[in-house]
Structure 1
Amino acid sequence: MRRGTLTLLIIIILLAAGAAFVNFWPNDKPLYGVKNPFTLTLGLDLQGGTRVTLQPKPGTSPTLDEMNNARNVIENRINGGLGVKEPSIRVQNGATPSIVVELPQFSGNQQDLISNLLKSGHLEFWDTGPQGYVANKTPFDPTQYTQYNPGNKPLFEGKDLDPNQLAIGQDQTGKVAIEFGMQGSAFGRLSSFTAANIGHNMTITLDRSVVSSAVIQGQLPGHGEISGTYTTQEANELLNVLKYGALPVDLQQVSEENIGGTLGTQAIDESKVAGLLGIGVVMLFMLLYYRLPGLLADLALIMYSLVTFAIFKMIGVTMTLAGIAGFILSIGMAVDANVLIFERVKEELRDGRILSSAIDIGWKRAWSSIRDSNFSTMITCAILYTFGQNFNATLITGFATTLFLGVVISMFTAIIVTRTLLNLLIPTGVINHPALFGLPANSIPAATLARRNSSV
C-alpha cells in the first residue's frame, strides 16, 4: 500500500462518521455525552413560519429610503451575511409604512430573534471615571458622567468600528467576548484616550443599555474587546447587530402570526423521491459504465452528499424547494471530475501502463481540466457574493455561498477520496481483470500484465 494512503483512508472514515452524526443522529440522544445541536430548517415554501409586522414608533416619519435601509439591515442581521436563511422581507407603503418579515420555523427562540431585530443598534463608548463601573444590562444615563463626557457625547460610536475586525473570542478569564477594532480617525483616538485615562472605567452601551464596563488597564492599540456574561448565542446576536449597523428607524412590533407553507409536505415527499431517483440513476450509470472505479466513485458521491448536507446544517442553510433542487443538481455535477479521471486512467491502461502509473498519470492529465472548470466556478461565486454584499441582495449571496461550498467539497471528494480509494486497488491484482475497469478482455497489453505479475 502506498505511503499516506492508510492515513488518508482513516481521515476519510472519520470525516464520514462525523458527517453521518450531524445528519442522522437524533438531537435529543447524546452520543457518549456529545449532543448533535444541528437541525435542518425548511423554508417558508415547505413548512411556513412566522410573519411579523414592524412599524416606526409614534412620532417618527421616516422616508422611503430610510425604510428600505432598515429592511436591508434587518435582512443582514437575520442572515449573518451569508444569505442562507431565506427570509422574506418587504417594505409596505401606506398611511403608515411598515416592514413585513416572514421567517421560516426554526429550533431557536423565535421571540429572542424578533427582539434582536428591533434593537436600534446604537453602540456608544463612554468614560465613566475611576469609580464608574456599571453593571451589565442596566440602563445607562450619560448625564451622570457629564464631567468625563463633555456635552453628554460618547467617545466613540458604532460607526467607528471596523466591521471586518468584529469577531467572537474569549477574554482573559475564558468567557465569551466580542473582539473589535476601530477604523479611520477612531483608531488613533482610542489609543490616545486609553493611554491618558488608565484607571478609568470605559463603559460600552447598546441603545443606552450597558453591554460592558471595565477598567482601562493600559493603552489599547486601536482595538479591544467587549466582555460580559454572554452565551455564545447572545454574543453572536450582538455581533450581528454591531456588524451590520444601526437601524435608521426606531421600529416596534405591531403584529405576529403563523403562516403555512405555500407548497407543503407533498413537495417535500416529491423532492425526496426525485432526489433518490437522481442519485440512483447517476450511481447506476457510474457502476455499469466504469465498473469497479464506478463503485469507488459512488462511494465518493455518498461521501460528497454526507459532507455537503452536514455543512449546510452546521452553517444554518434553510432548505427551500429551489435549494433542494440545486443540491440534487450538484450531486450530478460532483461526478464530473471522476469521469475525467477514470477516462484518463483507462487510456493509460490501454497504452500499457501498470495500474499505479495509470492512476498517477491519468490523474495529473485530468487535473488541469478539473482545476480550470472548478476554479472558474469559484471565481464566479466570489463575484456573485461580492455583488450580493454590495447591493444587499442576500438571495444572490446565499446562492453563491452554497454553490461555492458544493464546488469545494466536490473537489475534495475527487482529489482526495476517489484517488485514495483508487490507490487501495493497486496491491489487489485487479489489473489482471480488464472487465473490472469497463475494458474489453484484450484491451490491456500483455506486457502490462507481465510487469504486474512480476512485481507481486
Structure 2
Amino acid sequence: MKRHLRFKFFLILAVVLICIYGVIGLPTSKAQLVTNWRKNIHLGLDLRGGSYLVVQVQQQDAFNAQAGVLTDRLKELLQKQNVTYSEAYVDEAKSLQDAMKAAIVVKGVPATQAGTFRGIVSDNLSQWILTPLNATDYRLTLRPSDALKTWQDVLTDTKNTLDRKINALGLSEATVQQRREDRDSELLVQLPDVDDPARIKQILQTTAKLELYDVKGGPYATREEALAQNGGVLPIGTKLIGTADINGKSGGIYLVSSTPVVRGPDIRDARAQQGQLPGRWDTGFVLSQDAARRFSTYTGSHIGQRLAILLDNKVLEAPVINGQISDSGVIEGAATQQEAADLALNLKAGSLPAGLVYEQEETVGPSLGADSIRDGFFAGIAGVLAVIVAMLIYYKRSGINATLALVLNALILIACLSYFDAVLTLPGIAGIILTIGMAVDSNVLIFERIREELRAGKAIVPAVDAGFSKAFLTIIDTHITTIVSCAILFLFGSGPVKGFAVTLVIGLAANVFTAVFVSKVIFDWELSGPKPVRALSI
C-alpha cells in the first residue's frame, strides 16, 4: 500500500474511532453502552416526552423598578442641594409594549433653581434624557441605547436565574433559551421527562426578592396616615412599603430606609427547617461573609429597634432586634415543608428582575415520545436498507463503496450531535433522512461520471480520477446552495426548524468528506493491489 494511501486510511480510521467514542464512549458492558448512548444523544421533547413552556418576561417591571430606585436617589440629591419640588414620582409603564417608556416625573421645581436641577440630573443620571414639560415640571426618560441594553440585560438575568432554579430542582437536562433575538421578551423552557410541571411553574414564576430594611416608623393604616405622621413629606432616605396579605388581611404600611441592609444576592445558602410551633416550617438563610459583617454591625447598633423582612416588595414581618445577629436569619410562616423548601430554593437561585407570564404550555407524554422514536427508527432503517439494496443492484460491487460511505456519514452526523450537545428531534430525523438521500445522490453523480469515462475508452484508474474530479464541483455547488438555505432557516426559523437546519448542515459537511474523500480512498485501495484490475464492477 502506498504511503499516501496508508495515511488516508489511518485518517479515516481515526475519524471512525473519534465518532464511536463520541457516541458510546468506552463501555465495559452492554448496560453501560446503553447508558452512554442515552447520555450522549439528547432527545427532544417530541421524542422523549416532557413539558414545553413559553414564558414572557414582563420587562415593564424591571424598567419601573429601575425608575423607582433612581427616583429615590434623585430625591436625596435634590434635598441635599436644597432644591425644592412639589412631587417626584414614577410614571410607570403599564404594558410590555410600553416598557421603555417608564419615566421619572418631577414637578414644582422653581425657575430660579432650574440650573441646579439640570446640573444634578446631568451629573448623576446621565443615561436619562431630561425634557421640560413647562417652566417648573420635568420628565426623565431612558436613552434608547441604554433602554435596549437594559432590555437585553433583564432577559439575560432572567434566563440565568431560571437556569439556576432548574439546576437546583435536579433537572440537569432542562434548557432555557431565548426564542428570538433583538427585542423579543419570550423564553423557551424545555423540561424533559416532566409530565406535570405545576410545581416547577410555580417555582420558576416566583420572584423571591428578599430584602431586610431598617424600620423608621409604622405600621400605619394608610399612606395618608404615614404622611401625616411625618409632616406631609417623607424624611430623606425613606420610603413606604406595604405588608403582605395574610388570610386576606393587610398588616398596614411601614416607613423604611431607602437602602436595604441586606439584599437577595447577599444570601449564601438557604434551607427549610422545623419551626418553633408544631407542624410549622421556616426557611433559614445564611449570609455571605461581607453581608454578615455588615449585618452584625447593623444589628449590634440597633438593638431594640425593628427590622423589616421584605419578600417581593411586601413586608412579611418586622421583628424587634433583641441582640447582635451575625450571619443568619429565619423567615417564618410556611404552611408545609415543601413550601419552605421551595422558598429556600428560590432564595439561593436569586430573585427575578421581572415577573413572568406563561404564554404557552404543551406536554408530550413518554408513550407518544416512544412511539415517535420507534416509528422514526423503523422509517429510517427501512429507507437506508432500500437505498443500500438499490445501490448494490444498480452499481454492483461499487455499491458496497457507497454503502460504507453512507454508514460513515450517519456515524459522523450522530457523533457531531453528541459533541455539540445538540438535541435530536423529529425534524432532526427528517434532516438525517434527507442527508441520506443527498449522500446517495453524490455517489450517483460520481459513479455515473466514472461510467461515462469508461464508455469513452479511458483506462480504469484515469476514469476513476476523472469521475471524481469532474463530479466534485457539482457536489460542492449543490451542497453550498443547500447550506445557504439552511442558514436562512436557522436565522429566521423556530426551534424545530432550527433543529432540521443544524442536522442537515452537519450531514452535508459529512457527506462531502465521505462521498469525495472516503469513496475515493476505497477505489484507490481496490485499484492499488499487486494485480491490475481488468474490469471495474460499477
Report the alpha carbon displacement of residue 413 of structure 1 after superposing the two structures with TM.
Answer: 0.7
- Asked if the contact 1:42–1:105 (Cα under 8 Å) also holds between the matched residues in 2, the reply is no
**1:41-440 correspondence to structure 2 within 5 Å:** 41-50=42-51, 60=61, 63-65=95-97, 101-105=189-193, 138=288, 249=354, 260-261=365-366, 263-387=368-492, 393-428=494-529, 429=531, 431-434=533-536, 436-437=537-538
CA contact 2:43–2:424 (8 Å) conserved in 1:
yes
Structure 1, unmatched stretches of 5+, are 79-84, 92-96, 121-133, 145-245, 438-456
Taking the aligned partners of 2:207 and 2:18, their CA distance within structure 1 comes to 37
Whether the 8 Å CA contact 1:54–1:99 is kept in 2: the answer is yes
User: What secondary structure sits across from 1:284 in the alignment?
Assistant: helix
Aligned residue for 2:458, secondary structure, equals: coil
1:91-142: per-residue Cα shift (whole Å, max 9, x none)?
A: 9xxxxx9977333349xxxx99x9999999xxxxxxxxxxxxx9x995877x
Answer 1 or 2: which has greater strand percent: 2
Task: Check 1:75–1:356 CA distance in 2 against 1; reply closer, same or farther (3 A cut).
Answer: farther
How far residue 336 of structure 1 moved from its aligned partner, in angstroms, is 1.4
Cα distance in 2, alignment partners of residues 257 and 9 from structure 1: 49
3-state SS of 2:522 partner: helix
Whether 1:12 and 2:20 are equivalent positions in the alignment is: no
Contact 1:74 1:117 survives alignment (8 Å): no
Hey, what's the Cα distance between the residues in 2 that align with 1:359 and 1:53? Answer: 54
1:38–1:314 CA contact under 8 A, matched in 2: no
Cα offset, 1:322, TM superposition: 2.5
Partner of 1:188: none
Alpha-carbon contact 2:159-2:187 (below 8 Å) kept: no
Shift of 1:335: 1.5
Deviation at 1:88, TM superposition (A): 9.4
* CA shift in 2, pair 1:247/1:422, >3 Å: farther
Q: Is 1:279–1:331's contact at 8 Å kept on the other side of the alignment? A: yes
Render the CA deviation track for 1:415-439: whole Å, top value 9, x for unaligned: 21111111111123573235x22xx
Q: 1:347 to 1:119 in 2, by over 3 A?
A: farther
Bigger Rg, which one:
2
Unpaired runs of 5+ in structure 2? 62-92, 101-150, 164-173, 209-265, 270-287, 295-350
Closer, same or farther: CA 297–51 of 1 in aligned 2, 3 Å: closer
TM-score, normalised to structure 2's length? 0.45
Q: Return 291-300 or 35-44, whichever deviates more.
A: 35-44
Between the aligned residues of both structures, percent identity stands at 31
**CA, structure 1 residues 99+356, in 2 after alignment: closer, same or farther (shift >3 Å)?**
closer
Change (3 A) 1:3 1:312: same
- Do 1:46 and 1:264's aligned partners in 2 also have CA atoms closer than 8 Å? yes
- Give the Cα separation in 1 of the matches to 2:94 and 2:384: 52
Amino acid aligned to 1:48: G
Q: TM-score with structure 1 length normalisation?
A: 0.52
Superposition misfits of 4+ residues, deviation over 4 angstroms: 25-31, 35-38, 50-57, 65-78, 85-91, 97-100, 114-120, 136-141, 250-253, 256-259, 393-396
TM-superposed CA distance for 1:409, in Å, is 0.8
- CA shift, 1:324, in A, is 1.5
**1-structure distance, mates of 2:96, 2:393:** 60
Amino acid at match of 2:43: L
Quick check: 1:44–1:104 contact (8 Å CA) kept in 2? yes
Residue 311 of structure 1: how far off its partner (Å):
0.7
Name the aligned partner's letter for residue 104 of structure 1. Answer: P
* Alpha-carbon distance between aligned partners in 2 of 1:355 and 1:408, rounded to the nearest angstrom: 28
CA distance in 2: counterparts of 1:272 and 1:352, whole angstroms: 44
